[in-house]
Structure 1
């Protein structure tokens, strides 16, 4: 079908030239293009080999007296990962009258290539749009604009539509890139700009189009001539042995000539002197694109075979027995399709002994770990230090036999994705690069934890769960429903929390105010752009908020939460594990784990003024507003179920019937990392543990917030 669609597009494009582009390792896509009959002034472009910053030279287009647009631009990608990587290069393509976008295959959780228009009447001259399925999971999208459209912008709109309507956070700072393989550094960002090898960075109106430039070095770069925009040089795809980002800035001739410049690697801001950067094995590696390489689609089945990441015939491959699941290219890129092919595996063993290029193996391991594929390894060689200490330690932790246990396998998967995405994800990496270059960036988002309770005896327990959160900027808004903050146990617990430096706001709500209205009043007192709901008697692991933020970023969801995987049935002193499918879009999440953008909460009308079922009503409102809800893992959370007093009326039998495994006593996942002692007073039983929380619970009281 690809060949016939492109042949028809070439036939109807008129007298203008065409540019046919391909990206990714899918051989059939390149074959489809090479079989086409092209004119002399048409271009056939490998976007992966294009040097960013160099223009596309198209005869009879763009010069004085010539048209600005080409008749056809076609981009044929093997996967969405490849299509997103090509976006920075596509920004340099000329405008097109007819745009054809082809993705040969997509994972099941992504939508079709239906564009999300940019607004502001920019697409009012769209004459025709056609979206067709290609095979089982591929897609073709055609857009026709008689007066032409900016190619990069239109391609970005097509990619935007596959995320369900929400873009998710973009990397900062604004970036410029140059060189072969530089697209790996800023995948999927339409605001990234290709720049020349020497600079200066172009201006848009009166400002540079980038705040930081990354250049890939394949064996020698000229001096950087822009004294305003700093840069970092990183190894290119042909020089994997190079070890650290370095910066060379040309000095003004009056102070220092290029021939006398010190060879020490430097980074220079116009207001600061030269600064030496220390070698680092992690940051020279191109980051991964968390929008396509992530845990979405993770399966809990632990009965599959083991796979191996190894070298075969000089190439790094992922195989299961003699079956080759994917061949990793030299730059180490693993796509969303490659992750999907590994989902049925119980785990993947890493063989470090082959002759493959180090960057190929290291980046492949990083991507598999980010995708939640349970990767294990023996001792990691020194040349793989680019993994980073956290990922190295996690890889070598479990024995292969542990992966046969579904719970232990998922715990290992969560640790891997944390260690990978929080170091090698594009969002984190660019913040790190900005810090190394002295470029200021906005602070991380502030999360407002919102806790509403009717039970003063549980305030210390709940605040202890909040206080141990790590890796997130957050504040607490504590709504006391029907009692005063002057109660001794409440005052002591709030003082202990404030002593940790965590901002806390206390709101006293009247006892007769309906619960939904109390929550809305609490939201009104929050300062963060993100609101996280919290319950007063459940257990939360120290990375609960960080995991939700991470899921929010890679899922592009409007609301995220976790499952009720682990439930402690207090009356029976029994912990049950209900192995729900996680890492997927879902209409239902646990109400006491909801994390939602404050703007989304406002747009759906806030919480309904009801006494119960508040959370389920919010989920319905988000879905009704075409929002996306995402369910991440639930191993860092333990729901407490007492005999009575819940706003959700399921009985104990409901949890017992649906359980996959049961344990006597309080038995959380190891990701919960135990239980802290309540704040504000000594532990009633003298030591931290589940009994402390249970001793504080009165089952006849109202259970605030659980729906």
Structure 2
């Protein structure tokens, strides 16, 4: 199918040259046997060195001053991860009147690549657009323009189509790249510029087009950098530190004892993980599945189940989204530390598996793998194979791994680190405004204690007292204790007659954060709850994120239920007390409806109706409390006992909750606050 499409495209382009690109394993063969003209070019766009133009036309022909134009630009990518990487080098592609993008395979959780125009009128003359499925999960997109258009934005539109309306947080600073494997450091960014090894960074009028330059080479002495305004950093390719180069002919056998020294932080030397495609989306309950092994087959690393190789890891350590989908049935992967081509590639492979939420176990991590970072190393060494056979312990281990890998090796984290290394100032991370609305004075200290222990995010709290004043003794003491933590808080008193949805909108209006998180006053939240939601917002690209109601404490019968619902997936329902969204999303959806109940459900419906996506991340850091009444979601106890995975008598949350904080302020009746007051504004 793909070859047929390309043959027709080559016939239709007339006498103009064609640029036939490929990216990822097995894609070059899709271009073999095609009819070519003398001026056509075949390019491995996933490995093309940044800063090297892609010439078209017949060599030796007389140049003119016109910008080169291709009759056809085609790209065959193995996976969306490979397409994302190829986008970076696509800045070197010429304009074209016909563009073909083919994806050989996609993970099952992604949408079809239905592209949207760039929005500045560039595609007003678009004549025809075709999107066709190839096989079970492949796609071909064909574009026909009467006049030449930039090729890179067309490729970008195809990839964007697989992720929905929202792109997610941008990567800063603006970058200029040079050299082989430079695309590994900035996948998916069509705003980068390729530069010559010595610079300088080009100007747009009087302003450099980038704030930081990165050169990726073979370790040889780099030429002097000629740009005084834009700092430069140097990194080496993943093949530079091969085992043989580091430890001689028998380097693999001596790898376990090898320590690779570096003056810089070893983590900063590792090319980042593309979290927009390599992430835990699609994680499954597979505690009864086989145990895979990351080991060596010939000169390539593979993940093997028995005698069957499930995936072959690229030589640079890249693991794709399709690779992750192919090993989701495994209960985990055991790491063989003597595998892969060298330390850097091995670290990237392990970090990618961890970022994907794949449960990993291993012998002690060798010294040469210090580039993993201490947090990820501790997480890998913190579990045994026995943990992988227990559903809860396996998922807890997966969450610890994905947290460590994405925060240490994620694309945005790495570039913020590179900016800090060169002294480039960046905007602060987004601030979270926690919206806490309560009718229960006796629960204020409990709820504020849950917020006060959040870590890994910048936050403020907007506390709305719905129908009672702030000068009640138990309320005032709780607020004072919270202020002593140094965290900002805004206190708002709303009259009891105000409808709950309107009160929430009043709270949002008083918030100053970029993100809005809804908080219930009687539920329990782990200290990483907000940080996990912000992380999920980054890798999912969803307009709204939250968790499921996995853990439910039935207070009347002193019973903890774990329902073990599907996580890391697009969904129509999340727990209302875990909603996190951008302020602009609330503006686009009209905010919370002025209703006394079902507020959260109505917001989820509005987001979906507007074309947005809702992503449900893991629910292990949240416990929903159910009492005899007083909840807007009035399901009886049988609802929560239906189809549960596990239950315990008494209090038994996930270990990720990390215990219970002591309520702030004066204790109520000398102990834990009781939950007895009627509250028509709880979880919806």
* Aligned mates of 2:657, 2:613 — CA distance in 1: 27
* Aligned mates of 2:668, 2:391 — CA distance in 1: 34
Query: What is the CA-CA distance between 1:202 and the residue it aligns to?
Result: 0.6
Q: Using a 3 Å threshold, how does the CA distance of structure 1 residues 576 and 355 change in structure 2: closer, same or farther? A: closer
Counterpart of 1:45?
Answer: 43
Counterpart of 1:348?
Answer: 333
Counterpart of 2:674?
Answer: 697
* Aligned mates of 2:585, 2:312 — CA distance in 1: 41
* Aligned mates of 1:675, 1:583 — CA distance in 2: 25
* Aligned mates of 1:62, 1:83 — CA distance in 2: 34
Counterpart of 1:670?
Answer: 655
* Aligned mates of 2:601, 2:217 — CA distance in 1: 53
Moved more, 676-685 or 455-464: 676-685
Q: Using a 3 Å threshold, how does the CA distance of structure 1 residues 10 and 173 change in structure 2: closer, same or farther? A: same
Report if the CA contact (8 A) 1:515-1:611 is conserved. Answer: yes
Moved more, 229-238 or 341-350: 229-238
Query: What is the CA-CA distance between 1:190 and the residue it aligns to?
Result: 1.4
Please say if 1:485 is aligned against 2:478.
Answer: no
Query: What is the CA-CA distance between 1:301 and the residue it aligns to?
Result: 2.5
* Aligned mates of 2:339, 2:163 — CA distance in 1: 38
Give 1:514-525 correspondences, 5 Å limit.
Answer: 514-525=499-510
Counterpart of 2:255?
Answer: none
Counterpart of 1:23?
Answer: 23
Moved more, 112-121 or 472-481: 112-121
Report if the CA contact (8 A) 2:597-2:680 is conserved. Answer: no
With structure 2 as the length reference, what TM-score do the two structures score? 0.95
Instruction: Show CA shifts across 1:567-600 (max 9, x none).
Output: 0000000000101111000010000100011111
Question: SS of the counterpart of 1:338?
Answer: helix
Question: SS of the counterpart of 1:86?
Answer: helix
Question: SS of the counterpart of 1:310?
Answer: strand
* Aligned mates of 2:160, 2:116 — CA distance in 1: 6
Counterpart of 2:461?
Answer: 476
Question: SS of the counterpart of 2:267?
Answer: coil
Report if the CA contact (8 A) 1:537-1:697 is conserved. Answer: no
With structure 1 as the length reference, what TM-score do the two structures score? 0.92
Query: What is the CA-CA distance between 1:241 and the residue it aligns to?
Result: 6.7
Query: What is the CA-CA distance between 1:170 and the residue it aligns to?
Result: 1.3
Question: SS of the counterpart of 1:136?
Answer: coil
Counterpart of 1:36?
Answer: 34
* Aligned mates of 2:234, 2:434 — CA distance in 1: 40
Identify which of 616, 625, 629 aligns with 1:631: 616
Query: What is the CA-CA distance between 1:703 and the residue it aligns to?
Result: 5.0
* Aligned mates of 1:87, 1:546 — CA distance in 2: 29
Counterpart of 1:94?
Answer: 94
Please say if 1:321 is aligned against 2:306.
Answer: yes
Query: What is the CA-CA distance between 1:82 and the residue it aligns to?
Result: 0.4
Please say if 1:410 is aligned against 2:411.
Answer: no
* Aligned mates of 2:50, 2:596 — CA distance in 1: 58
Counterpart of 1:227?
Answer: 228
Report if the CA contact (8 A) 1:48-1:86 is conserved. Answer: yes
Please say if 1:71 is aligned against 2:71.
Answer: yes
Question: SS of the counterpart of 1:286?
Answer: coil
Question: SS of the counterpart of 1:282?
Answer: helix
Query: What is the CA-CA distance between 1:490 and the residue it aligns to?
Result: 1.1
Query: What is the CA-CA distance between 1:705 and the residue it aligns to?
Result: 2.9
Report if the CA contact (8 A) 1:203-1:209 is conserved. Answer: yes
Counterpart of 2:285?
Answer: 300
* Aligned mates of 1:682, 1:216 — CA distance in 2: 59
Please say if 1:13 is aligned against 2:13.
Answer: yes
Please say if 1:338 is aligned against 2:323.
Answer: yes
Moved more, 153-162 or 338-347: 153-162
* Aligned mates of 1:237, 1:200 — CA distance in 2: 25
* Aligned mates of 1:313, 1:278 — CA distance in 2: 33
Query: What is the CA-CA distance between 1:68 and the residue it aligns to?
Result: 3.1
Query: What is the CA-CA distance between 1:164 and the residue it aligns to?
Result: 0.9
Report if the CA contact (8 A) 2:596-2:680 is conserved. Answer: no
Query: What is the CA-CA distance between 1:37 and the residue it aligns to?
Result: 1.7
Query: What is the CA-CA distance between 1:148 and the residue it aligns to?
Result: 1.2
Question: SS of the counterpart of 1:91?
Answer: helix
Q: Using a 3 Å threshold, how does the CA distance of structure 1 residues 153 and 62 change in structure 2: closer, same or farther? A: farther
* Aligned mates of 1:219, 1:609 — CA distance in 2: 62
Give 1:364-403 correspondences, 5 Å limit.
Answer: 364-403=349-388
Report if the CA contact (8 A) 1:476-1:504 is conserved. Answer: yes
Q: Using a 3 Å threshold, how does the CA distance of structure 1 residues 63 and 465 change in structure 2: closer, same or farther? A: farther
* Aligned mates of 1:387, 1:698 — CA distance in 2: 45
* Aligned mates of 1:486, 1:355 — CA distance in 2: 64
Counterpart of 1:236?
Answer: 237
CA-based RMSD of the aligned residues comes to 1.5
Report if the CA contact (8 A) 2:522-2:675 is conserved. Answer: no
Counterpart of 1:120?
Answer: 120
Give 1:676-691 correspondences, 5 Å limit.
Answer: 676-681=661-666
* Aligned mates of 2:284, 2:95 — CA distance in 1: 42
Report if the CA contact (8 A) 2:295-2:335 is conserved. Answer: yes
Counterpart of 2:435?
Answer: 450
Length, aligned pairs only? 663
Report if the CA contact (8 A) 1:447-1:529 is conserved. Answer: yes
